[in-house]
Structure 1
Amino acid sequence: MRFLINFALVLLLVACLVVWTLLPWYAVLGIVVLLALWLAFTRTGALALAATRIGIASLPQRWGASSVIVIGIAGVVGVLVAMLAMGEGFKATLDSTGGDDTAIVLRGGSQAETNSVITRDQEPLISALPGIARGADGRPLSSPELSQVVNLQSKADGTDTNVQFRGVGPSAWALRPELKIVEGRKFGPGLREMVVGRGAQRQFAGLEVGQQLKLANQSWTVVGVFESGDSHESELWADVDVLGPAYQRQAYQSVTVKLDGKDGFKKLKAALAGDPRLKLDVSTTRDYYAKQSQQLTTFLKWLGIIIGTVMAIGAIFGALNSMYAAVAGRSREIATMRAIGFRGLPVVTAVMLETMLLALLGGLLGALIAWLLFNGHTVSTLGNNFSQVVFQFRVSPELLWTGLKWALGIGLVGGLFPALRAARLPVTEALRAA
């Protein structure tokens, strides 16, 4: 029977922790305000506050055991926030790529450029469709593109990594005004020249302006560096009509277009659906790149939660051991408080508040470490196109708040059982043992 009661209590705690981690900030603030009012304006609360002050005053005498709680929880929060910051940074990079004013056309049923094929005779038909904006020269703002994965050496460890080598049409620059040449110049049409993203240049060797790369048994000259603040900074760009023959690619993979006004996407989608020669799909570039980030972001999120949970279990056991030791060491003190009128609830609250304070310190320390070490840290990972995407860790206030909630949740579980033991400690037995 006792086993069933303990098992039910553990399940209840797990359910409470899940609810706790999902609470928004204003709900947590409401709980804190209610607790503060109870401590300030009720007799039981005042007794709990007085008992808490006594426990906190004795912390310097048992700082070694208390530091186990702080350091353990700091490690949990640091790792959790770092893992979530990786997913957040990757998602933010791809979400910032593209917009609602441009669209990408792929072969019907294709989820990414890697498995899409658009024949060269289809490209003029696509460019002539309604819904596509035209430039000052009257030509449609349309860029046929293809992507080739090439191997470059990583600056970090010298290993070969996959990098996206993108061939673009002349209108690619007008379609992506956020892309700016910051060093050198644009590649010349019809020449084996390339421009490289700043992110790619930082991560991969041999991409300085003026250097030559041997790709497809041909020499390519790096003539410029661009910045765009999105996933394109991970790429190398060249003339699509030079890149295609170099890799014996007879077709394009996608066509990116500028949409003509608010109704441009609807017109283009309807025109594609109504032309039996074009079995193609279209989506805005914002939607396309958001979908590309979804799978990896979800994976990184759950990986962080799983690793954080495993570490949290260890931190909970550390908190349990430390608080059980603290309760045992303070048995005379707790028994004396019980003898002079402190009932069970104030004692439970005092031990819980003490543990939560240590957990809060650990959470703040872990959040600070994660922010100092990882916020803005540049890395690359494999994207859906089997090439590296360069992005930065993004330690947002929301992630820091999540880490603090995990810390307080660990403190809640780690302090509950020792607090209950302290409240049930027989006065005479405690005084005799002391």
Structure 2
Amino acid sequence: MTDAPATPEPTEARKGRARLAGENLSLDRGGDGFGRRLVKTLARFFRTIFSLVGTLFVIGFSLLPLSALLIALPAVAPNEAVLTDSIRPARSRLARTFRRAFALGAGFVVLIALTAFAIEVVSRLPLPAGGQMGTLAKKVLGFAVTDFVPDDPQPAELPEGKTWLTTPELLDKVRSLQQAANRQNLNPRDKKDASDKLAETEAELEERAPKSPKLQLLRNPRLAPVLGVPLWKLLPLALVEQWPFVLLVVYGTDLLLLLLIGKVPLAYNFRYLWVRRRDTALTAVAFTVVVALVVVLLAFVNGMYKLNETTGVPGNVLVMSEGSTDELFSNLARGGEIDNAMRTNLTADEKGRPIGGGKGVGVARGTFGPSGAFDRLPADAPRDLPGATYLHSYESYIVMNQAIPPKPGETPKRRFVQMRAFQDVRLGGAVHNIDLEPGGQWVSGTGVEPGSKAPDGREYLQCCIGEGAAATLGEDAGKARLAVGDTFELGDRWWKVVGLMRTRGTTYGSEVWAGIENPVVRATGKGDKYTTLVLRMADDSAASARAMAYFLNEVYDQAKLKAFSEPDYYKELTKTNEQFLTAIVMMAVIMAVGGIFGVMNTMFASIAARIKEVGVLRILGFKRWQILISFMIESLAIAFAGGLLGCLLGLFANGFEAASTLSGGQGGGKSVTLTMQVDVPILATGMLFTLVMGRLGGLVPALSAMRMEILDSLR
């Protein structure tokens, strides 16, 4: 059977099929092209991310001692000689791995040795404890390992009226309920209520414990003291409170080691800095401005910390009504229930340890002598001695609104003025260690100026004012500060200054002191109540003050009180300080970024102009790491010169006065006039700040110089 001849396919059909096949092929190629572009884009993206992460690691490593990094250099380049002129090449993978591991271990040992040496040196220096840098370290290292352990998830449904607490909140609630249940001055009803809530909370704790790894860690007696406490508590005290000095000692010792390890062309670097002295000076000026500003800002915060430290008298106990967090919100009724607190004689502290040599300690007593000074009596003086009184002070803290005399063309404004009214102003001055300047006197009687009305027809109220208030009110009268005999208007009445108080370095400098029977004070509603009772312990010790505060809080049952040792109370008023310190650190970081890029730009231009000179140095026998150290020291020299000048300029801020507010973060607070203080820790911080900027700014240019090949640099 013969096959029939195939019918020729029409020309148009063949063209259509070819066109369709071509379109499909172009679509396939287009799809492949898009996929390749997508893969390349993703590859570039991840390459950029990895490069950025690597750069951050390099920047972080630049803050480590350079001697430790040099010892660890074979971990990156196993055949690079550091301590010797040459080194036998490691040809096998095992040899290179061993050399890398040994270099890492040696570098880590050098780092630990430098840090331990610096901590030991700083620990032996007579440096002040605490301070704002210690506060900053505690804030940054305030996390615990258990903070990173996942907490129990909140159930989908909770019983009505019940609030879900995180594990730390639940443990804090248990501790607070245990403290409340153990208070001796609770009435039976409140004690039973606290015990019932404690039992309920402990039952919830036991129910959640088997399913909560975080709770198990926090309750483990061996692991909790390590994993459940802030990280700063696990570090040496000097490394927390004096870390700027520790780092400066580390960097100084590191520089000495570098100069001992090998030859670095320092003469060449310093000669070049002098040749390009104009560019060097301009770069150093940038460091000067940044460091000077940082020193001034830190001096402001330091003045606030010093103000808190000097205001609280160690032997004073500050008593307010229960639940009060600030004097402004406290109300103490007049009566014997409060008076009995000062008659207490303590025989043991809050931990049951005997105080006062077994005889106990009470509130100090004394009499006012002919000169008006308070003369302390011995502890065994008769209780019924005529004229004897306890060294105590009933006070009412008031904030009043005052109109500011407007200048021509200005809108009327008002300000807050702080007033402290006393049952006896003389006792208040004795309790707070406040004296009057010569020519002044304390407010007497009702506080109304004795005699008939003044020639201008006004009746004046007496007051004593602090140095800051005298300066503020003096501006209204066109004077530097008010003096004895000057007058001002407050609370729709006219006042006469009868005494200027020596209050420098205390929060009382911004206050107006008056008597409790003062008509303006009575009109505020504070005349029938006090906000504060301040007691002075007989031995003037902080330990006795804390023991009395504990007794009044936990044991004293004639009135519900909230007591602090006075230094502890003013220590609580540091929330504002921490906010200022945080803002200053953020501002310093922003300014540091500009300074780092400035020195980086200068060093890049400097190295670019000396490419051939770098090649000559390599020909003369200088190794890569010596080139790196050479340019890093050049950058640090610029930073050191600029930072030193910035610290010297910042010293001029020492002694300046500024206004601020102290607050515990829960409302209230005190407006104060403080004195800016530039001390050694601030200067150390300024120098450390400039050296860190110099290291970060000089690292990348120094690395670029180190990586240059000899032939490439000589072309």
**Would the alpha carbon gap of residues 225 and 83 (structure 1) be closer, same or farther in structure 2, given more than 3 Å must change?**
same
Separation (CA, whole Å) in 2 of partners of 1:15 and 1:159: 54
Q: What's the CA shift for 1:60?
A: 3.0
- For residue 394 of structure 1, what is the aligned residue in structure 2? 677
1:162 and 2:416 are equivalent in the alignment: yes
Give the counterpart letter for 1:318 in structure 2. G
Q: What's the CA shift for 1:144?
A: 1.1
Q: Deviations over 1:195-227 (max 9, x none)?
A: 111222123335332222222222221111010
Give the counterpart letter for 1:256 in structure 2. V
1:66 and 2:306 are equivalent in the alignment: no
- Does the 8 A contact of 2:647 with 2:686 survive in 1? yes
- For residue 234 of structure 1, what is the aligned residue in structure 2? 510
1:423 and 2:701 are equivalent in the alignment: no
- For residue 382 of structure 1, what is the aligned residue in structure 2? 661
Separation (CA, whole Å) in 1 of partners of 2:538 and 2:253: 53
- For residue 356 of structure 1, what is the aligned residue in structure 2? 636
304, 321, 331: which one pairs with 1:90? 304
Separation (CA, whole Å) in 1 of partners of 2:291 and 2:500: 38
Q: Deviations over 1:26-63 (max 9, x none)?
A: 553354234324424x4xx21x1x2x321221223323
Separation (CA, whole Å) in 2 of partners of 1:361 and 1:37: 21
Report SS of the residue matched to 1:409: helix
320, 330, 339: which one pairs with 1:124? 339
Q: CA RMSD in A?
A: 2.8
Report SS of the residue matched to 1:241: coil
Q: What's the CA shift for 1:4?
A: 1.6
- For residue 217 of structure 1, what is the aligned residue in structure 2? 492
1:279 and 2:560 are equivalent in the alignment: yes
Report SS of the residue matched to 1:106: strand
- For residue 441 of structure 2, what is the aligned residue in structure 1? 185
Q: What's the CA shift for 1:288?
A: 1.1
Separation (CA, whole Å) in 1 of partners of 2:703 and 2:649: 33
252, 263, 268: which one pairs with 2:530? 252
**Would the alpha carbon gap of residues 24 and 310 (structure 1) be closer, same or farther in structure 2, given more than 3 Å must change?**
closer
- Does the 8 A contact of 1:181 with 1:227 survive in 2? yes
Q: What's the CA shift for 1:402?
A: 0.6
Separation (CA, whole Å) in 1 of partners of 2:674 and 2:522: 31
- For residue 388 of structure 2, what is the aligned residue in structure 1? 138
Q: What's the CA shift for 1:290?
A: 1.9
Which stretch shifts more, 298-307 or 118-127? 118-127
Q: Which has the larger radius of gyration?
A: 2
- Does the 8 A contact of 1:161 with 1:388 survive in 2? no
Q: Deviations over 1:363-414 (max 9, x none)?
A: 1011111111x11100111223444201111111111001101100110011
- Does the 8 A contact of 1:68 with 1:318 survive in 2? no
- Does the 8 A contact of 1:68 with 1:319 survive in 2? no
Report SS of the residue matched to 1:204: helix
Q: What's the CA shift for 1:154?
A: 10
Give the counterpart letter for 2:660 in structure 1. T
Separation (CA, whole Å) in 2 of partners of 1:13 and 1:123: 62
Q: Which structure 2 residues correspond to residues 91-106 of structure 1 after superposition, within 5 A? A: 91-106=305-320
- For residue 197 of structure 1, what is the aligned residue in structure 2? 466
Separation (CA, whole Å) in 1 of partners of 2:698 and 2:525: 66
Identity of aligned residues (%): 24
- For residue 149 of structure 1, what is the aligned residue in structure 2? 399
Give the counterpart letter for 2:559 in structure 1. L
Q: What's the CA shift for 1:268?
A: 6.3
Give the counterpart letter for 2:295 in structure 1. V
Report SS of the residue matched to 1:111: coil
Which stretch shifts more, 257-266 or 239-248? 257-266
Separation (CA, whole Å) in 2 of partners of 1:38 and 1:376: 40
1:25 and 2:245 are equivalent in the alignment: yes
Give the counterpart letter for 1:7 in structure 2. V
**Would the alpha carbon gap of residues 355 and 162 (structure 1) be closer, same or farther in structure 2, given more than 3 Å must change?**
same
- For residue 130 of structure 2, what is the aligned residue in structure 1? none
Give the counterpart letter for 1:163 in structure 2. V
1:412 and 2:695 are equivalent in the alignment: yes
- Does the 8 A contact of 2:487 with 2:497 survive in 1? yes
114, 121, 133: which one pairs with 2:328? 114
**Would the alpha carbon gap of residues 342 and 270 (structure 1) be closer, same or farther in structure 2, given more than 3 Å must change?**
closer
Separation (CA, whole Å) in 1 of partners of 2:500 and 2:436: 8
1:309 and 2:578 are equivalent in the alignment: no
Report SS of the residue matched to 1:288: helix
Separation (CA, whole Å) in 2 of partners of 1:79 and 1:247: 43
Which stretch shifts more, 202-211 or 411-420? 202-211
- Does the 8 A contact of 1:154 with 1:203 survive in 2? no
- For residue 202 of structure 2, what is the aligned residue in structure 1? none
Report SS of the residue matched to 2:497: strand
Report SS of the residue matched to 1:257: strand
Which stretch shifts more, 5-14 or 348-357? 5-14
- Does the 8 A contact of 1:198 with 1:227 survive in 2? yes
Report SS of the residue matched to 1:114: helix
Give the counterpart letter for 1:83 in structure 2. L
Separation (CA, whole Å) in 1 of partners of 2:405 and 2:575: 25
Separation (CA, whole Å) in 1 of partners of 2:434 and 2:56: 53
Which stretch shifts more, 158-167 or 194-203? 158-167
Separation (CA, whole Å) in 2 of partners of 1:291 and 1:16: 38
Structure 1: 5+ residue stretches without partners: none
Q: What's the CA shift for 1:335?
A: 1.9
Separation (CA, whole Å) in 1 of partners of 2:603 and 2:545: 65
**Would the alpha carbon gap of residues 217 and 24 (structure 1) be closer, same or farther in structure 2, given more than 3 Å must change?**
closer
Give the counterpart letter for 2:688 in structure 1. K
